[in-house]
């Protein structure tokens, strides 16, 4: 058993890496150094190239040129200016040191906590049972210094605890500890950790703080010993573990760079960019040539967008351990996201039109707190597969939703098959679904077997095909609604609400009678599944025991209103 990195005080608080202020605010030092170097550039040229410049006569021009240094020397203020610069640097170093001394973190058997600030104190706390994912982020400068930032995301709005920064290997140890404890809370609750793999290694110390597991690498393999410090730093910079067998053994999906480039080139962003460029060129050739200059800013913006997609998806890998699913990607800045099992609220496999001949799909997810805490719904941040074949999609879905791992053929049927047993769109749905009417369908899977693992599945799309899945236990409410065109055509829409995210669980264009029956079935399934889940959690001591037992009643179509919500019997996570 290896202790967490750093030295803890009596209450278990530990400090971050001493260089962390440089990345969190000490960039001002680099700016000051740049200003000084810029003003001393002529003096540097004089020192190293004085002979050649005197012969060519160029040095006389440099000497006559007036700059800040000449002015300070002439006025006798050079020593005073140097003193001011050194004083400013000393103040920055002092304040950074004070900020580092007051920025601490700890991991207890209850939560991950971080404290910062001197005048205005800030204390953030992430309960282990509410942790949605644990991310490692490594900007380019952080990679060069061997540092890594840990982001602990929870289900609340702006629910994020940051540990910025730790040494790269120390950050991996801390991440493994957080993920293991979060998974322990998910499976058995605090009162019963006996028999859970890894629970013994994560036991409480005398101070009440958890001990870290042994230093592990990719998928739980122990780090191999580097030959020297230079080799160790090289491995940390390129962000791979030393043991290549660990990568092969634990990686479920890996995206080659060529396939990623091809997917970007065939994506809608690239196609729209090419069409706009062609239109501008044609208009410039036929109307006014000056309009062609409009290509320059457009080209810069679109190239930036396309490079960002490549940068975020480069070297993408997805793996799993006993407690979590892990994704990693990035070129200049790398991000590793660790998602404990049971934290996915919805998942969607999507196939753009131009990817269809190649059989490519992408997969994205909805997680509590993931999009909200990072400033909005950014689909690139929710990707768990940038591009892959159908077999890769099935493998990813079966990994992040363990309850569907035995339904391979059912998943294939929903992705590209005939959609057996799916409830299709109504007879006049072509007016609202256009060409997507033939593919549209909705189904509740799992009613015949273990209902606790049942899922809602929705197929959509013509230009962009999609298959969305949501564990029934994650539903916040269900709704039957009839917008104006649906009412005019005798149709209705059924939607299951979950947390804010890119995956929308709604089936439009259903016949009114079929929609009402589907709503009834979905409502009763949600209440039964969530009632069973609440009872199981109460038995583990995680939540108070539910009062009463829900007995569903069959409703007739006359009892429906255009919008009806099924109550959620348990508190959302």
Q: Report whether pLDDT(103) > 70.
A: yes
138 or 297: whose pLDDT is higher? 138
Question: According to the per-residue pLDDT averaged within each range, which of 51-60, 307-316, 332-341 is highest?
Answer: 307-316
Average pLDDT over residues 237-264: 70
Q: What are the tokens at 72?
A: 């300070």
Q: For 40-157, where are the alpha helices, taking DSSP H only?
A: 41-56, 58-64, 68-75, 78-102, 140-145
Measured at the CA of 520, the angle between CA 519 and CA 525, to 5 degrees, comes to 95
219 — pLDDT class (breaks 50, 70, 90): very low
Q: Which tens digits make up the pLDDT trace of 198-215?
A: 333 334 433 344 444 444
pLDDT score of 301: 80
pLDDT score of 26: 55
Q: Which tens digits make up the pLDDT trace of 524-538?
A: 999 999 888 888 877
Please give the Cα distance from 442 to 421 (Å, whole number): 9
84 or 387: whose pLDDT is higher? 387
Q: What are the tokens at 379?
A: 């689909």
pLDDT score of 40: 62
pLDDT score of 30: 65
Domain boundaries in the chain?
1-13+105-240, 27-101, 342-559
Q: Report whether pLDDT(217) > 50.
A: no
Q: Which tens digits make up the pLDDT trace of 378-414?
A: 445 588 999 999 999 999 998 888 777 677 888 999 9
Q: Which tens digits make up the pLDDT trace of 352-373?
A: 999 999 999 999 999 876 544 4
Average pLDDT over residues 469-490: 93
118 or 70: whose pLDDT is higher? 118
Distances (CA, A) of 539 to 128, 192, 306, 535: 19, 11, 50, 6
Q: Which tens digits make up the pLDDT trace of 158-202?
A: 668 889 889 888 898 898 888 888 777 655 443 333 333 333 333
Contact between 148 and 142 under an 8 Å Cβ cutoff? The reply is yes
Please give the Cα distance from 229 to 495 (Å, whole number): 56
Average pLDDT taken over every residue of the chain: 76
Contact between 501 and 538 under an 8 Å Cβ cutoff? The reply is no
Q: For 2-67, where are the alpha helices, taking DSSP H only?
A: 20-24, 27-39, 41-56, 58-64
């Amino acid at each position: 058993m290896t202790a967490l990195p750093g030295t803890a005080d009596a209450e278990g608080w530990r400090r971050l890496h001493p260089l962390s202020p440089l990345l969190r605010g000490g960039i001002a030092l680099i700016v000051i150094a740049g200003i000084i170097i810029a003003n001393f550039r002529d003096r540097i040229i004089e020192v190293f190239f004085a002979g050649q410049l005197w012969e060519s006569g160029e040095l006389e021009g440099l000497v006559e040129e007036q700059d800040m240094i000449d002015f300070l020397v002439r006025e006798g203020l050079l020593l005073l200016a140097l003193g001011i610069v050194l004083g400013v640097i000393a103040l920055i170093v002092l304040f950074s040191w004070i900020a580092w001394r007051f920025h601490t973190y700890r991991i207890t058997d209850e939560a991950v906590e971080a404290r910062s600030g001197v005048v205005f104190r800030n204390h953030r706390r992430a309960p282990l049972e509410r942790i949605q994912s644990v991310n490692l982020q490594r900007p380019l400068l952080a990679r060069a210094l061997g540092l890594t930032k840990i982001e602990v995301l929870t289900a609340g709005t702006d629910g994020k605890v940051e540990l910025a920064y730790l040494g790269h290997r120390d950050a991996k140890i801390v991440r493994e500890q957080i993920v293991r404890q979060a998974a322990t809370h998910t499976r058995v609750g605090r009162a019963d950790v006996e028999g859970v793999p890894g629970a013994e290694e994560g036991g409480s110390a005398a101070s009440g703080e958890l001990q870290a597991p042994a230093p592990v690498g990719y998928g739980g393999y122990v780090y191999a010993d580097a030959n020297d410090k230079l080799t160790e730093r090289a491995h940390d910079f390129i962000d791979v573990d030393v043991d290549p067998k660990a990568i092969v053994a634990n990686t479920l999906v890996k995206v080659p760079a060529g396939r990623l480039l091809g997917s970007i080139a065939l994506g809608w962003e690239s196609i729209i960019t090419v069409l706009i460029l062609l239109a501008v060129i044609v208009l410039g050739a036929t109307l006014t040539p000056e309009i062609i200059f409009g290509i320059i800013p457009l080209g810069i913006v679109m190239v930036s967008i396309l490079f960002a997609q490549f940068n975020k998806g480069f070297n993408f890998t997805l793996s799993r351990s006993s407690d979590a699913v892990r994704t990693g990607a990035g070129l200049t800045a790398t991000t590793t996201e660790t998602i404990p099992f049971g934290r996915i609220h919805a998942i969607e496999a999507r196939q753009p039109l131009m990817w269809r001949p190649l059989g490519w799909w992408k997969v994205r997810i909805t997680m509590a707190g993931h999009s909200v805490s990072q400033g909005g719904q950014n689909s690139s941040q929710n990707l768990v597969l940038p591009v892959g074949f159908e077999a890769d999609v099935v493998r990813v879905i079966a990994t992040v939703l363990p309850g569907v791992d035995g339904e391979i053929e059912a998943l294939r049927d929903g992705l590209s098959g005939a959609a057996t047993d799916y409830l299709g769109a109504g007879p006049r749905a072509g007016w609202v679904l256009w060409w997507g009417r033939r593919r549209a369908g909705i189904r509740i899977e799992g009613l015949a077997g273990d209902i606790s693992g049942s899922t809602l599945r929705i197929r959509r799309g013509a230009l962009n095909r999609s298959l969305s899945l949501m564990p029934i236990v994650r539903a916040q409410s269900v709704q039957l609604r009839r917008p104006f065109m649906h009412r005019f055509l005798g149709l209705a829409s059924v939607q299951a609400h979950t947390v804010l995210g890119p995956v929308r669980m709604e089936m439009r264009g259903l016949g009114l009678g079929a929609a009402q029956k589907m709503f009834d079935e979905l409502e009763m399934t949600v209440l039964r599944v969530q009632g069973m889940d609440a009872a199981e959690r109460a038995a583990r001591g995680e939540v108070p025991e539910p009062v009463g037992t829900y007995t569903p009643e069959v409703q007739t179509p006359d009892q429906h209103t255009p919008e009806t919500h099924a109550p959620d019997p348990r508190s959302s996570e």
